Amino acid sequence: MTETMAETLATPSVRTLAELKASGWQSKSVKSEIRDNFLRALSDDKTLYPGIVGYEETVIPEINIALLSGHDMLFMGEKGQAKSRLMRALVNFLDPFIPYLDIDGCPFHEDPLNPISSVAKRYVREHADEDIPIRWWARVDRYAERLAPGTKFADIIGEIDPAKLAGGASMSTEEALHFGLIPRMHRGIFAVNELPELDEMVQVGLFNILEERDVQIRGYPVKFDIDVLILFSANPSTFNRSGKVIPQLKDRIGSLIQTHYPRFRDLGIQIMEQEANIDLNGDYPVRVPLFMKEICEQITIEARRSRYVDQHSGVSARFSTANYRTMISSARHRGVLLNERPAVPRISDLGHLYTSSLGKLELDLMGTHQMTERQVLDAVIAEAIKKVFDEYVSEHGLDEITSVFAKGVKIEVGDQVPSSNYEALISRIPKIWDKAFEVNAADDPAVRASCVEFVLAGMYANDLISRSQNHGRTSYDLD
């Protein structure tokens, strides 16, 4: 079915089975429907996965091939690698609407031309096409997702319904069953997050669905040919742990899609800005220098490298996003209090990252260190500042900048220190560093303050100056 036909059919004018047949609509399995729409989008050079950055040459080609293969998929990677977003994006390859039988007591969104329940089959057999009502199911409603921990067999597959038995239904018929999410998503997409945390009995039920495409509940002879695309997500550390996922289920998942964190910092910054989605304009605008964006993302990179952080758990991209929002909010807060427009984030604004970072880092408890999460975060931030500053130094040199601060200057900085306090010092910074800042430090006091703090923090990270902290203020001693 073409997109044009789908849009034409998805109108109130097609309301009976007779009208549906006259329109030329034909049944398709959900995987065939997705494959056809995917091929059309691919050939038309459309954006296939909106909002996904950094996977163009790695993850996306593997997903594309899995869709063409008609495979159920497992997305495997650490937290914050867009696994859930990728699964949800597959909804875009469904038809805008599909028809289903509008029949009371029907447990599924039945294909009008190929019903699977006894209720629907009997109704279609006993009524003329002109008297069989049709409704339309929007693609946004054809996706369901479940988090594995705490999920029971009845939740996603089904159970015998005592109320229906009390009403006279026979235990050997489908009328006695309460159906879970997977049967109710017949002709749709169902996703399970954190597969290894799923109860073994539920895994056995999924294994049967993946193998036979039918549902069996408590061994009763009631079977349905369920048409559903099943997706899973998992963390490698738990998926590969013996006994967490039954081998038969692993064997029947068609494609394993390995995700990863951004491989380059500029991609991480792009994701960070995209996900933060902050309006930097308004009554109290914020201007973010590139080096502050680089430091914010580098903090996440260093956390992923830290021997004090559990690398099996990973450090989510949400870590960068939350810290970026906090940094900008601290700058805007200062801008309001001191009436500075625009407000410009500084190194001292990173002192508020505890609020957005603590709880997001899982420490490596198997190590011998006795560091707290706060101490680990301090070390990670310091290493990120040093890394970014060293990159600037390697390009623009350190000798001139060191000589500027080698004459007994002392300066106090802080997130609530007015930008005008930095005025005198910035005039002494070599002109070559104007290019390093990628902003004109002479234009605005708030920009100057941010640039000064970057240089001071970088020099301290390289043990070129000393630092003392007291009540939210930091003093750099340049003796």
Residue 477, by phi and psi: left (phi above 0), alpha (psi -120 to 50) or beta? beta
Longest CA–CA span in the chain (Å) reads: 98
Q: Output the pTM of the full model.
A: 0.86
For 191-245, write each residue's pLDDT tens digit: 999 999 998 888 888 887 777 666 666 666 557 788 999 999 999 988 988 778 9
Residue 318: CB atoms within 10 Å = 15
Q: Same structural domain for residues 344 and 436?
A: yes
Q: Same structural domain for residues 216 and 344?
A: no
Between strands 73-76 and 228-234, the pairing is: parallel
Q: How many angstroms separate the CA atoms of 280 and 287, rounded? A: 7
> Of 209, 232, 258, at which residue does a domain stop?
258
What does the pLDDT read at residue 157? Answer: 80
Q: Same structural domain for residues 41 and 142?
A: yes
Q: Same structural domain for residues 276 and 249?
A: no
Q: What does the angle CA 319 – CA 325 – CA 330 come to, to the nearest 5 degrees?
A: 125
What does the pLDDT read at residue 176? Answer: 60
What is the tally of structural domains in the chain?
2
Q: Same structural domain for residues 452 and 327?
A: yes
Write down the residue that tokens 């604004």 correspond to: 349
Q: Same structural domain for residues 166 and 71?
A: yes
What does the pLDDT read at residue 424? Answer: 67
Distances 282 to 17, 365, 453 between C-alpha atoms, Å: 54, 45, 26
> Of 231, 258, 285, at which residue does a domain stop?
258
SS3 214: strand
What does the pLDDT read at residue 153? Answer: 83
Say if CB 157 and CB 183 are below 8 A apart. yes
What does the pLDDT read at residue 311? Answer: 82
Name residues whose C-beta falls within 8 Å of residue 237's C-beta, 6 or more positions apart in sequence: 312, 313
Using alpha carbons, select from 313, 295, 264, 244 the residue that is nearest to residue 80.
Answer: 313
> Which contacts (CB < 8 Å, 24+ apart) does range 57-65 have?
58/260, 59/86, 59/257, 59/258, 59/259, 59/260, 62/255, 62/257, 62/258, 63/257, 64/38, 65/255
> Of 258, 293, 314, at which residue does a domain stop?
258
Q: Same structural domain for residues 180 and 278?
A: no
SS3 75: strand
What does the pLDDT read at residue 7? Answer: 45
What does the pLDDT read at residue 2? Answer: 43
> Residue 343 sits in which domain range?
265-477
Q: Same structural domain for residues 25 and 108?
A: yes
Write down the residue that tokens 């235990």 correspond to: 171
What does the pLDDT read at residue 408? Answer: 59
What does the pLDDT read at residue 129? Answer: 95
We report the CATH number of the domain holding residue 28 as 3.40.50.300
For 178-200, write each residue's pLDDT tens digit: 788 888 899 999 999 999 999 88
What does the pLDDT read at residue 3? Answer: 44
Q: How many residues does the chain have?
A: 479
Q: Same structural domain for residues 220 and 291?
A: no
What does the pLDDT read at residue 321? Answer: 96
Name residues whose C-beta falls within 8 Å of residue 7's C-beta, 6 or more positions apart in sequence: 96
For 32-56, write each residue's pLDDT tens digit: 999 999 999 999 999 999 999 999 9
Q: Same structural domain for residues 367 and 384?
A: yes
Q: Same structural domain for residues 77 and 97?
A: yes
Which parts of the chain register pLDDT below 70?
A: 1-12, 160-176, 212-222, 366-369, 404-410, 424-443, 471-472, 478-479
Q: Same structural domain for residues 377 and 359?
A: yes
What does the pLDDT read at residue 9? Answer: 42
